[in-house]
Amino acid sequence: MKKCYQRQNKLLETLVTIKVSVVLPPIMTDFDTGLRIKEKARDLFMQYGLRSVSMDDIAGNLGMSKKTIYQYYADKDELIVAVINKELEHNQANCERDSASSDNAVHEIFLAMDMVVELFSTMNPSLIFDMQKYHPNAYLKFLQHKNDFLYNSIRDNIARGIREGLYREDVNLDIMARYRVESIMLPFSPDFHIKLKYNLAQIEEELIIHFLFGLASPKGYKLILKYQQERINLSNNGKK
């Protein structure tokens, strides 16, 4: 009798396992498909801008029908909001990681600069303009991130640098934090970047260094030069 019960329990476990294995794959497939759409859309938006990329372009690059994409995203605007949300979450996580792992305020800025340069090196200059003009829901998300998270992160860094003796004590935290946040947008202005032969990453790197030297105390100035030389050495070693 005991063996009979054991066989019945074993059979029941097998049936449950089979049922679960049948149910789970579609759920995982749906999740993976939605993620693939979002990631491919992100790549195309970064390369060509928002306005130039159609849902047909995204479908063609994924090798799927446009109808399939609409099963996950109601329209292009909803897809763009999803892409922007994911990008902002990623950016915030990187900033928080850099702040926690950095040796000092100047080091934190250099870590952030590496992240920004990597991001801007693949970004189409029209992306922010397209978002502002054609996709206000996504642009509102971006503005909230810029004016809340980025502003407070920069302000915290300036306060940290003053405490560490790396930034001047007479720096006005609110003014300089707001200045830096708004200067992030400068390379995206058509009137600004079309008259320069440099890409977004090169422009942003120069603006960050200029901002950093403007904050620096004599002690901080020496540290900036040290980190700059380390970046140059690392770049030269990478080219060999």
Return the CATH number of the domain spanning residue range 76-240. Answer: 1.10.357.10
Spatial contact of 137 and 81, defined as CB atoms under 8 Å apart? yes
Structure confidence at residue 23 (pLDDT): 45
Structure confidence at residue 191 (pLDDT): 81
Structure confidence at residue 27 (pLDDT): 44
Spatial contact of 204 and 187, defined as CB atoms under 8 Å apart? yes
What 3-state DSSP class applies to 167?
Answer: strand
Distance CA 227, CA 234 (A): 10
Same topology, domains 1-73 and 76-240? Answer is no
- Does an H or E element contain 80, and which? helix 76-101
Structure confidence at residue 18 (pLDDT): 43
Distance CA 30, CA 13 (A): 26
CATH 1.10.10.60 applies to domain 1-73: yes
pTM above 0.85, yes or no: no
Q: Where are the domains of the chain?
A: 1-73, 76-240
The pLDDT profile of the chain, 240 residues, written as one tens digit per residue, is 544 445 555 544 544 444 434 444 444 467 789 999 999 999 999 999 999 999 999 999 999 999 999 999 999 999 999 999 999 999 999 999 999 999 999 999 999 999 998 999 989 999 999 999 999 999 999 999 999 999 999 999 999 999 999 999 999 999 999 999 999 998 888 888 777 888 889 999 999 999 999 999 999 999 999 999 998 888 787 665
Structure confidence at residue 236 (pLDDT): 80
Structure confidence at residue 22 (pLDDT): 44
Structure confidence at residue 232 (pLDDT): 86
